[in-house]
A and B are shown apart, each in its own frame.
Chain A
Amino acid sequence: MERRTRALGEADQPSSLVMRFGRERPLVLDSGATIEDWQIAYQTYGTLDAKRSNAVLVCHALTGDQHAASRNPVTGKPGWWETMVGPGKPIDTDRYFVICSNVLGGCMGTTGPASTNPATGRVWGLDLPVVTIRDMVRAQAALVDALGIETLFCVAGGSMGGMQVLEWAASYPQRVFCALPIATAARHSSQNIAFHEVGRQAVMADPEWNGGRYLELGTNPKKGLAVARMAAHITYMSEEGLHRKFGRELQNREKIAFGFDADFQVESYLRHQGLTFVDRFDANSYLYVTRAMDYFDLAADAGGRLAQVFRGTATRFCIVSFTSDWLFPTEESKAVVRALNAAGASVSFVEIESDRGHDAFLLDEPEMFATIRGFLSSAAAARGIA
């Protein structure tokens, strides 16, 4: 229970840095709604140079947070992208000033459904307007403004983070020198929306969800959220990777038990993934953030013509996908590459050979590191970063 208490505390009073915006700087959302008195929690790593030219914005995925390269205050675990971000790492904090913020709708200190609504003094819950990927990027842009940074050297991220990268490049092309979208897509596919819907239904079917008012009522829809996480977790791995890891191995037993306990290691693993998730993540946040991904369709306003979205862009792109990622398959990345080529943009693209599925972007993938290191170094040279 202690972890959950810590997690709930982070929603309003994050142990990271936080930027607060008052009524003079409301956030106008895609839905037409406005959020006044909002905040964005963030971490920084490295030093901003005198010309303010070396800032890298790292965007996190669905259940990530601002602790990309620092110990997580809730779980006590290392940052979620320490393989990528740090001194001497591909996103080298000896050279770059790295910013990572919690997304709008999140539960680690940026305004989200678990935050207190300053207007009422009560938890936002489902009263919070539905947010989009573009709204998340608007919030990040306000933070970047407040930090006095005009142009970001790079915006980088995987999965939902990659959606934010593409949105940044589309919404603020002159503020993004180079863009690094990894294992992502320009729109959420029907299959992916379907998986998210299963997760949301699991949360909302839990009686302890109480129409989203569980924080006020002192209940916790952990069973529903755990099931949502279990289902989602399967989509982050490849069949091959899952089988290599667990096969049909039994969990702490010699033979099958003819019952519904976790006979198989893979069951036990998924249950563990579900259980550890519910302590650190807010169920309503899960609804909001999955919804934001579902609504993402970068070309929607351009009549479906993605190339139109990137017309005239001077941003340099490096797009990365993984062979075994069936959640955001290579074909989705190639659609973005095709559009950027049609727009005459500068684009590099690599498909990394890996059997670790969608999660590969978070793992030790030397080819990915080599590509990103090279791309950033050459872009840094072009921008005059020491």
Chain B
Amino acid sequence: MAVTPLPKDAFGARVDLVAIAELVAPGARVLDVGCGDGDLLKLLEETRGVDGRGIELSQKGVNECVARGLSVIQGNADTDLVDYPDDAFDYVILSQTIQATGHPRQVLEQMLRIGRSAIVSFPNFGHWSVRASLGFLGRMPVTRNLPYSWYDTPNIHFCTIRDFVALCEDVGATIDKAVALNASGARMTLNAPWWFWNLFGQQAVFLLNR
């Protein structure tokens, strides 16, 4: 799905993926929704020893995953999550994908049904650079992380960190952990208030429970 280029750590792994991996308990059963070419699943297998599965929309992504030995099915987050039984996974992960889904709320509810926990990472539309683009230039933002023009973007449901927190409340999910990454991929201060994260966090990663 809509993966945006993000900084890498010293070992070449994308920092947002590392932030997700650190939330996953070793040996867990994991479903990665919108798994792309399988980078996160591979990272989780190698560093966390998970039993991983994936769903990916693009044929190219599925082929790459299958060739890497990952169990991935071609499918759509909006329509195919209903097919999974309750509690099938320890974690259901939606990495950089929620903004490209047709019905983010339903997707999140399905994730919390299928998995005991859900992990969601997304680009924060409340970041100051986005606000500046809209507020001062009056243009939809096109940045390194959000490289698409408004008319050809796959990202149809952007949200801010505060929007996402509100959605969690609406669906009755409890926020177990939250991490925000700044523009250079560094973790932001743990105890900062939401408004601070919402302004300066470029990426957010949430660990949710029912």
Contact = CB atoms under 8 A, between A and B. Distances in A.
A334 B72 CA distance: 13
A70 B66 CA distance: 29
Interface residues of A, number: 27
Given A348-B72, A349-B74, A352-B59, A378 B67 contact: yes
Given A341-B83, A348-B72, A348-B73, A353 B59 contact: yes
Nearest to A317: B71
Given A341-B83, A348-B73, A349-B75, A318 B59 contact: no
B135 interface: no
Interface string B68-88: 111111110000000111001
A350 interface: yes
A195 interface: no
Contact of B66 (A337, A341, A375, A382): A375
B68 A378 contact: yes
A333 B72 CA distance: 14
A344 B85 CA distance: 9
Given A338-B83, A347-B73, A348-B62, A375 B67 contact: yes
Interface stretch (A16-24, A221-229, A230-238, A365-373): A365-373
A341 B75 CA distance: 13
A350 B85 contact: no
Nearest to B68: A378
Interface string A328-357: 000000100110011010111111110000
A367 B29 CA distance: 29
A374 B74 contact: no
A316 B72 CA distance: 11
Contacts of B65: 348
A337 to B, nearest CB: 6
Given A347-B73, A349-B74, A349-B75, A377 B67 contact: yes
21 contacts: A337-B83, A341-B73, A341-B83, A341-B84, A341-B85, A341-B88, A342-B85, A348-B65, A348-B70, A350-B59, A350-B62, A350-B63, A350-B73, A350-B74, A351-B59, A352-B59, A371-B63, A374-B68, A378-B69, A379-B69, A382-B69
Interface of B: 29, 53, 59, 62-75, 83-85, 88
